[in-house]
Amino acid sequence: MSNFKVVITLVFFLLAITCSLFYSESLNADKISNNYTGLTNETFIGNNKTDLKTLVEAFSNGVYLSSYTTPQVNDLQVTEGKWTMQKLSEVYPDVVEKKISQNLRQTFFIKKSIIIDKGVELNIIKSDVLLRSLPNKDNHPVVIITYGKTNVINSSIMSWDPVNNRPDPNPYHPRSFLVAKNGGQMNIIESKISYLGFSLAGAHTLLSSLAALAYYNTSQFMIVNSTLSNNIYGFYSDESSNFKIVDNEVYANIKYGLDPHSGSKDFVIDSNHIFANGGQGIICSFRCKNITVTDNTVEYNIEGIGLHWLTNSSTVKNNIVRYNNGYGIYIKTNSYNNTIINNTILGNGNGIGLLDNSNENIIKSNFLRGNILEKNQIHEDNNSQSNFIEDNTYMIK
């Protein structure tokens, strides 16, 4: 077995032990900050030079790290200009193949990964884009990585298995995804994003994204009036800010629908329909703050809306949260100064949860009915007793 494989095996063995110890302790902001020191989006994982302590610290602290810092040999690096899919197919036919299409939209098959450098703009407009993803575990899937600006407008993007001539349905071998990093803007407008992302031992890197759309250390982007479906996660962000996710349908993703994470802040999730996902419909986790979650319908997920792990100073308002298996809405793990107000919470396993040392939150003017696992439908655990709960309406049936 190679040194790299030995290291990775040890990492995940130690990870299981470390995680169990880590979560058994009461968390606080100072401790998280100390553990987080030195781990950044530029920390490289995935080679045999990575020291074992850094890997274990990274995974056990929930830090999702980027590893893609330079273009690979076979990638297309676009270094200047404005581009369309048509122009790429003309200049780089070995990378972008234009297909004969039976509809009014053009179809393009991308055979190699594309990097959009700073100062470069790619516009994907009224196009169906198929990202090469072979049906085997040693596949190197095509990805699009944006350091400049990519606009996807009235288009569809999906993985594509050229052997079976279909989207790649298997999320457990390498499958394509889209990334914006280090100030890159990737806007998704009136488009469909599907069958993207894959699980590599649960790790998020730029070589392995659980999410169809992943944003690292960037801001000022939007996902509007689009569909995110049949991915592992629909959306993921890390240290990103000032973005909007508005008027979308997010459904049938294997785990989370929307997962803003790790220091993401100052963003809006509004008027989306988020349903039938295999985890939380919306989960904001790990040092997130100033989040506004309003006017969404979140239903038929494992859980509805979660503010988790040092997620603070946020508002969940005017949402319909119904028929989720677990909590409709919860605040968990040292999360404080959040407001849950004027939501309709119906027919979930549990109504609202205040859990794991989450205090100084306001729970006000919510309507709760038929959340069947708890009589009072708002649950505070033993170390989450310092919250302000008033003017809520409860009905058992």
Segment 250-257 mean pLDDT = 97
Q: What is the pLDDT of residue 202?
A: 56
Q: What is the pLDDT of residue 61?
A: 42
pLDDT confidence band for 396 (50 / 70 / 90): confident
- Each domain of the chain, given as residue ranges in start order, spans 3-60, 65-227, 279-397
Q: Greater confidence, 27 or 58?
A: 58
Among 21-35, 63-77, 367-381, the range scoring the smallest mean pLDDT is 21-35
Predicted local distance difference test score (pLDDT) of residue 159: 96
Residue 71: which pLDDT band, with cuts at 50, 70 and 90?
Answer: low
Instruction: Give the pLDDT of residue 53.
Output: 52
Over 50: is that where the pLDDT of 44 sits? Answer: no
Between residues 192 and 65, the one the model is more confident about: 192
Instruction: Give the pLDDT confidence score for residue 73 in this predicted structure.
Output: 77
What residue type is assigned to position 326 of the chain? G
Q: What is the mean pLDDT of residues 244-269?
A: 97
pLDDT of residue 201: 59
Residue-averaged pLDDT of the chain: 84
Degrees, nearest 5: CA angle 320-322-324: 135
Number of Cβ atoms within 10 Å of the Cβ of 138: 7
315 versus 44: which is more confidently predicted?
A: 315
Residue 156 is encoded by which pair of tokens?
A: 């569809």
Go through the chain and tell me how many residues it has. 397
Each residue's pLDDT tens digit, 143-182: 999 999 999 999 999 999 999 999 999 888 888 999 999 9
Share of the chain above pLDDT 90, in %: 71
- Strand pairing category for 114-116 and 82-84: unpaired
pLDDT 10s digits, 306-351? 999 999 999 999 999 999 999 999 999 999 999 999 999 999 999 9
Q: How far apart are CA 170 and CA 176, in angstroms?
A: 11
CATH of 65-227, one of 3.40.50.150, 2.160.20.10, 3.30.930.10, 2.40.10.220: 2.160.20.10
pLDDT reported for residue 372: 84
pLDDT digits (tens, 9 = 90+) for 79-133: 999 999 999 999 999 999 999 877 778 999 999 999 999 999 999 999 999 999 9
- Which residues have a Cβ under 8 Å from the Cβ of 1 and sit 6 or more positions away? 9
- CB-count burial class (<10 Å; 0-12, 13-18, 19+) for 293: buried
Quote the pLDDT of residue 65: 42
The confidence band for 203, taking pLDDT boundaries of 50, 70 and 90, is low
| Residue 334 pLDDT | 95
Compute the average pLDDT of residues 208-233.
94
* pLDDT at residue 52 in the model: 53
Lowest mean pLDDT among 70-74, 259-263, 334-338: 70-74
- Measured N-to-C along each axis, helices 3-24 and 52-60 cross at an angle, to the nearest 10 degrees, of 40
Average pLDDT rounded to a whole number, residues 291-315: 97
